[in-house]
Structures are given as C-alpha cells and as structure tokens.
Amino acid sequence: MIQKYIITLLFLFQLLIEINCQTSPYIHKQRQGHTATLLDNKLYILGGDDGGKDFFYIDFSAPFNTQNLLIEDLSSVNTIPERSNAVSAKGGANNNTLFICGGGEGEMVYTFNPQNNLWIIPKIAGQVPPPPSLYNTTGIIDYNGIMYFWDGIGSNMIILDTIKLIWKKGSSLGAPNNGHGSAATLLPDNKIIYMGGALDKSTLMNQVYIYDTVNDNWSTKITSGTVPSTRYGLSAVLGLDGQRVIVFGGFENTVTSNLSSQNQLYELSLINFEWRIPKTSGQTPSYRAFHSANVIKDYMVITFGSFSSTENDVLLLRINNYDEYIWTNEFNPSSNMPTASMPPSSLPTISSQLLMQQSDSGTNLKIVGIIFGSLVGLALLYFIVLWTCRKRNNNKQGPSDNENIHNHGREITEEGNYSRNIQNYYNNDHHGVGVVIM
C-alpha cells in the first residue's frame, strides 16, 4: 500500500513539473526598444515599443532553429508597468537577479528573481536620478556588478551598485555630448567603449570614447580604416577573443548620408582601432535599429528591432571564425575555440575568472540546493524502508520466540548495512559527481 502511495505522489509531482515547464510556439510579435538579458542560459525579453507587458525567455541550453523557435511565456507573472527603451542587466548579491531600470512609469528600478518568478521594488540608497535620465540610455554592467548609464545630456555618469544597492555619480569630463541611441560594450580591462549616437558631431564613428570605470575618467581614440557612417540605435558586442568590437545596424544620423542595408555589419580592432567590414556568408538579414544584441556561446544573438518596418525575428551570427562570420538559423550550444589569422597582441584578453565570477555565486546556491535535497531524499527513503521493514516483520508470525529474535536481529543488520552504505557514499565524495552532472 505504501509503495503505491509513493509511486502515485511521484507521478503527480512529475506531471506538475512538466505542466509548469512546458514551452509554447513562438508568437511572431514585432517589437523594438525591448530589453534582452542572459541569465543561466536563458535570454529574458521584456516589453518594447510594441511589446506592452510581454515577458518571456528563450532557452539557449539546447540546439534550436530560429524558424521553429520556442519560448517560455512569463507575461502572466509580469506585475510591473509597461517598459520601453529601458536598461537591463544581470546583477545582485548572487549575480542571479534581473535588473530593469527606467523605461516607463512607476519606480526607477525593478528586479526579477527567476528562482521564484517574483518582481520586487528594491530599496536603493543615494540620490535617485530624474526619470528622463534612464530613458533610451546606454547601460552597461561591469564584472563587479556595477551598472553605468550615459545619455550625454546629464552632467554625470549615473552609477548603480546592484550589490550594495546604492546610486552614485561618475565623471562626465571628456564624454561625448550626446549619447542617445549610442552603442557600448564592456572591455576586458573593465573599461567601457562608446560609439555612435544621435544629433551631435561628437558621435561620428571616426572616434570612440572610453570610460575607465576604475579611475572614473574619459578618453578618446581616433579610428581609421573603413569607418562606418554615423548612426544611432546600433548595437555593439565584444568579440570572443576580447580584441575586437562587432557593430550591427543603426539608423541614419542627421549629420551624415543615408545608410545602406549592405553595410550594416562592422568590426573595430581594439589593437589599432581600425574599422573593417568582415566577410560573411549565409543569408544577410534585413536592416534594423533599436534591436538588442547579446553574445551567447559562439553567436551574436540579435533580437527584433525596426527600420522600414518593425521586425519580429531573432538573428544568429556565428562569430567564432574571425576570417568569416556566418549568418545562420541553427543554434548549437557546443562551443568551439575562436580562430583567426591575425597576429597576437598585448591587448588584455578576457579573464575566465572575471567572466565566471558572476555565475559562481548562483552556481554555488544550486549546488547547496542539490546537496540539501539529496540529503532530505535519502533520509526520507531511509525512514520509509525502515518503517516498511518493521511493519512487515511485525506482521510475520513464527513458530518460536527464537525465530522472532532471529528475524529482529536480521532487521538490525540490514539497517546497519544501509547506514554504512550512506556513509560510504559521502566518504567517496559523490557531492562532486552531483556538481559534474549539473
């Protein structure tokens, strides 16, 4: 009877998990000005100009084809006001929290916990920036969990420490005059590079601006080569080797000529700050701006955006071969080492420790949860087996007292063997096996 009861509970539990975790066919809805944030191999998409309160994620832990994309819809748990042109990042004390800043009415900052699907309004110390400061602003988070916001209008770099939860201010001396719609990305040395933007000649692409997050100062670099026409609403990501920045898309700036859909992809070398148009293969996608771009495994992942019309697709550019990038519909999480024909340089490469420290805290919590759950499960199994054995032996009737004593002694022996097996399991460091499996 007890075995049937346990089997029934396990079946119902598994069924509940499958219902809660099922994915649904991707609804091709157009959007721009949305946020796209990678947490634990899941790309969380929120809002946008045409996205309303949409909130979902795409799972990048397994292969998929963008023509048959599945999502996990979380719109039913989205309790915050509509967001558009907000800034997002993964941060917090355990580096497993989604931060959404600006982009709409209500509070300046909201956080989402993917472990329990709850939104909260964090209490943040310091002087809160005025609401327009974080609208259509370029935001970057560094390796220490600190977010930086620059719009070129305010008198200071706006800084949010997502761990200590405090607002700060940084220098704007030497910064570009206008940063609306500019692109930025974090470099391996914890500096931020800015390029492009709207309405001002300081955003021409023949120079880039670099903000030193450690020393709180700005500097510029003059660029050469095949310089892109000035644009805004573009995206920029760091190459896999940390020695180049890949730029995609963007609208025409009023101080430059028209843009062509044939030159939407550029690469800037961080060795000599020379621009080039990289060789690509595969079907070239439609031109767009105000999209989002993330580096996931070997791919630059570009989501949605707009140009002549608002887009509703997800683009994949494989960037592990620097001699030829590939536009593709197929995502494969199996990583390959980057290849290139370029000579080595003294530019700092991305430190694995820096890139991984943000995920270590969240991983440690998972390990603790696995160990705790395993201990609870083993303890429960132990008591179930012990209770079953005792009940079975109590129901048995023997011809003599000696036989009853013998059976009772055998029960004690089996209990002792079980306890020793559990002890041997942990003495053999099977905790490590659990980590490897995860």
Q: Which residues pair with 292 in a beta bridge?
A: 303
Backbone angles phi, psi at 362, to 5 degrees: -65, -35
What is the average pLDDT across 389-395? 49
Q: Could you tell me the pLDDT band of residue 114, with boundaries at 50, 70 and 90? A: very high
Whether 58 shows a pLDDT value over 90: the answer reads: yes
Q: What is the pLDDT of residue 349?
A: 44
Q: What is the pLDDT of residue 418?
A: 33
Q: Provide the edge-to-edge strand list for the sheet that holds 118-120.
A: 87-91, 97-101, 109-113, 118-120
Q: Is 214 helix (H, G, I), strand (E, B) or coil?
A: coil
Q: Could you tell me the pLDDT band of residue 314, with boundaries at 50, 70 and 90? A: very high
Whether 256 shows a pLDDT value over 60: the answer reads: no
pTM: 0.72
Give 333's contacts (C-beta < 8 A, 6+ positions apart).
Answer: 41, 60, 61, 62, 63, 297
Q: Could you tell me the pLDDT band of residue 155, with boundaries at 50, 70 and 90? A: low
Average pLDDT, the chain: 75
Identify the weakest region by mean pLDDT among 249-263, 282-296, 322-336, 393-407: 393-407
Identify the weakest region by mean pLDDT among 125-134, 246-255, 336-345: 336-345
The pair of three-digit structure tokens given for residue 103, joined into one six-digit string: 């982009």
What is the average pLDDT across 282-306? 92
Strands, E assignment, 17-156: 24-25, 35-39, 42-46, 55-59, 64-65, 70-73, 87-91, 97-101, 109-113, 118-120, 138-141, 146-150
Residue with tokens 């809660």: 20
What is the average pLDDT across 129-137? 70
Identify the weakest region by mean pLDDT among 133-137, 244-248, 269-273, 283-287: 133-137
Top pLDDT among 375 and 212 is at 212
Q: Could you tell me the pLDDT band of residue 133, with boundaries at 50, 70 and 90? A: low
